[in-house]
Structure 1
Amino acid sequence: MIPGITVLVPFILIVVAGVYFQTVTGFGLSMIVMGMAGGMGVASVATLASVVSIVALVNSAVALRGTHHHINWRLIGYMVAGVLPASVLGVIVLDFLSDSAADIIQLLLGLVIAYGGINFAWRPKPLTSLSGRASFVYYGFLGGLIGGMFGIPGPPLIFHLYRQPMTLPQIRGLLIFINAVVALARTLFVGAQGQLGMDVIVLSAVCLPMVAIATVLGKRFPPPLSADAMRRLAFAVLVIMGMALMLPVLLGYWNR
């Protein structure tokens, strides 16, 4: 069922905000849309996730146009080698865990992510030299595993890339490209299962023109922040992601 205009317009504005933020930082679209639109009654969580994946593909295509020279393709290969198999493994592992064990892992993970964000938000200076190739595979694996288990794949890669001695366009390009790979894999998988329904197609089609505009605006008119300020922003959002992982678990224990 397609929502009415009073719900659809706020939803499109949320998507636009998420797309702009992702264009200037390289991440955040899924967190913003799922977090802000999840309780609006726009659609089911599964439908929203599919819409976000399609939106992410369009955002990535527009955002990466003309910026390929910023992308380190070898690093992309290392990260994809970790992300894709770990995403499947994360789903499998979650199926085997008891509810209590999954809650404990989610809580500890949220604490680690929040602590890392707080720690580096105060000291946003990058490393003095680029990390080894194995570290990109490792953090890609962690990102995929967390994404498969809890639906938030970004934090390990955000944490790792924003600490590297790279320019912000290079970091954004890597994160956006990886996000596109994950979004494409998810869309193909869901489509092969016949779960890309008419509600997904209509919601995506309604959003896409504004998605393209928001992406162009993000490329041409990024916020006037220094590299250190952008790193602080990225790590501050990591704190929010960590809290978003912890809060449902804590509320669950509180309500028991």
Structure 2
Amino acid sequence: MMFSDPQLWFFVLAVIFLSAFIQGIIGFGYAIVAMAVLPLMLDFREANLLVALSIVLPVIWIFWAYRKHSNFKVLLGAIAGSLVGLPLGLLMFTVIDLDYLVRGTGLVILLIVVDGFFQKPVQTESGPQQASPIWSTFAGFCSGFLAGSTSIAGPPIVIYAIRQPWTQDQYKGFIFGFFILISITRVIGLSLMGLVTTPVILTSAIAIPFVIIGMALGTLIGPRINPVIFKRCLLMLLAVSSLYMVIQGSADEKELKPELSARTTPSTTIVQ
């Protein structure tokens, strides 16, 4: 996945940077935003691989800042569930029809948008983290499945975490501790399946600095932005993108062939 078209590179890196910037501000959203926008110009599976590989190092970097607030006992249920859901998601990623995968991802994003509009704030507590092992396991399973099939691991585990009476640091320690496992496990799974090729690695390596810079700026600017207004604007943008994915789906073969021809000659060259 190496592109010869400078405009396509600009589009991809701009989306990567913006997605990471949003992640730095609100603590999640990188994969949601990236997978809502990148498939407009890239093949869905190419976008999936790029998002999966480019997020690993930035997630580890962010978790390091919140490692003291992460309670691994609380993470056990979610981790156990994710280890079951991730292989099933990877299987779906390789066998399911691309049209269904695109529409399904759009539907997931749309459901998250609806939940975000009606979500009520939870009163936080500074004491020890408590969590239901059953629901954390279920949330971990759903996140693992979505990570494997669509690269969007965040929604289920984030919905679970924001409903807990945790401080912001405890929330981020839990979320990014979980994301480290998901990110690394997913890359290992994709590698074993032979999908992580040298061009994919090189493209991801180019994207990673933009992810890190975006997250760093988001972390600095985040406290100065009204979180309610920002979240509403983000949700509306995501609603439009997700509706487009649900309605449009994947282009059929007749529409896709001319597009691929235009991409590979000469503007975009995709190296398998």
| Shorter-chain TM-score tier | 0.7 to 0.9
Pair 83,223 (structure 1): closer, same or farther in 2 beyond 3 Å:
same
Q: Could you list the per-position Cα deviations for residues 168-189 of structure 1 after superposition, in whole angstroms to 9, with x for gaps in the alignment?
A: 2222232223222222112112
Unaligned runs of 5+ in 2: 250-272
* Greater Cα offset, 69-78 or 147-156: 147-156
Q: Distance in 2 between matches of 1:212 and 1:97?
A: 32
* Greater Cα offset, 238-247 or 191-200: 238-247
| Superposition deviation, residue 224 in structure 1 | 2.3
| Superposition deviation, residue 119 in structure 1 | 2.3
Aligned to 1:61: 60
Q: Could you list the per-position Cα deviations for residues 188-229 of structure 1 after superposition, in whole angstroms to 9, with x for gaps in the alignment?
A: 122223322232122112122232222332333324257xx4
Is the Cα contact below 8 Å between 1:47 and 1:199 reproduced in 2?
no
Q: Tell me the C-alpha RMSD between the 2 structures.
A: 3.9
Residue 72 in structure 1 maps to residue 63 in structure 2: no
Is the Cα contact below 8 Å between 1:114 and 1:242 reproduced in 2?
yes
Is the Cα contact below 8 Å between 1:111 and 1:242 reproduced in 2?
yes
Alignment of 1:10-29 (within 5 A): 10-29=11-30
Aligned to 1:182: 182
Q: Distance in 1 between matches of 2:103 and 2:7?
A: 39
Is the Cα contact below 8 Å between 1:126 and 1:162 reproduced in 2?
no
Aligned to 2:121: 124
Identical aligned residues as a percent? 20
What code does the residue aligned with 1:221 have?
A: I
Residue 222 of structure 1 aligns to a residue in which SS?
helix
What code does the residue aligned with 2:141 have?
A: F
Aligned to 1:221: 221
What code does the residue aligned with 1:179 have?
A: F
Q: Distance in 1 between matches of 2:131 and 2:50?
A: 34
Q: Distance in 2 between matches of 1:96 and 1:207?
A: 27
Q: Distance in 2 between matches of 1:60 and 1:14?
A: 17
Q: Could you list the per-position Cα deviations for residues 116-139 of structure 1 after superposition, in whole angstroms to 9, with x for gaps in the alignment?
A: 33321xx32347894423221122
Q: Distance in 1 between matches of 2:103 and 2:201?
A: 37
| Superposition deviation, residue 50 in structure 1 | 2.0
| Superposition deviation, residue 5 in structure 1 | 2.0
Q: Distance in 2 between matches of 1:76 and 1:231?
A: 31
Q: Distance in 1 between matches of 2:31 and 2:39?
A: 11
| Superposition deviation, residue 7 in structure 1 | 1.8
Residue 4 in structure 1 maps to residue 5 in structure 2: yes
Aligned to 2:203: 203
| Superposition deviation, residue 52 in structure 1 | 1.3
Using the size of structure 1 for normalisation, the TM-score is 0.75
Q: Distance in 1 between matches of 2:105 and 2:219?
A: 34
Q: Distance in 1 between matches of 2:105 and 2:47?
A: 22
| Superposition deviation, residue 59 in structure 1 | 1.0
Is the Cα contact below 8 Å between 1:48 and 1:200 reproduced in 2?
no
Is the Cα contact below 8 Å between 2:90 and 2:149 reproduced in 1?
yes
What code does the residue aligned with 1:30 have?
A: A
Pair 60,10 (structure 1): closer, same or farther in 2 beyond 3 Å:
same
Pair 51,92 (structure 1): closer, same or farther in 2 beyond 3 Å:
closer
What code does the residue aligned with 1:162 have?
A: I
Pair 225,124 (structure 1): closer, same or farther in 2 beyond 3 Å:
farther
Residue 222 of structure 2 aligns to a residue in which SS?
coil
Is the Cα contact below 8 Å between 1:33 and 1:52 reproduced in 2?
yes
Pair 7,96 (structure 1): closer, same or farther in 2 beyond 3 Å:
closer
Aligned to 1:165: 165
Pair 153,130 (structure 1): closer, same or farther in 2 beyond 3 Å:
same
Q: Distance in 2 between matches of 1:91 and 1:54?
A: 14
Q: Distance in 2 between matches of 1:198 and 1:3?
A: 16
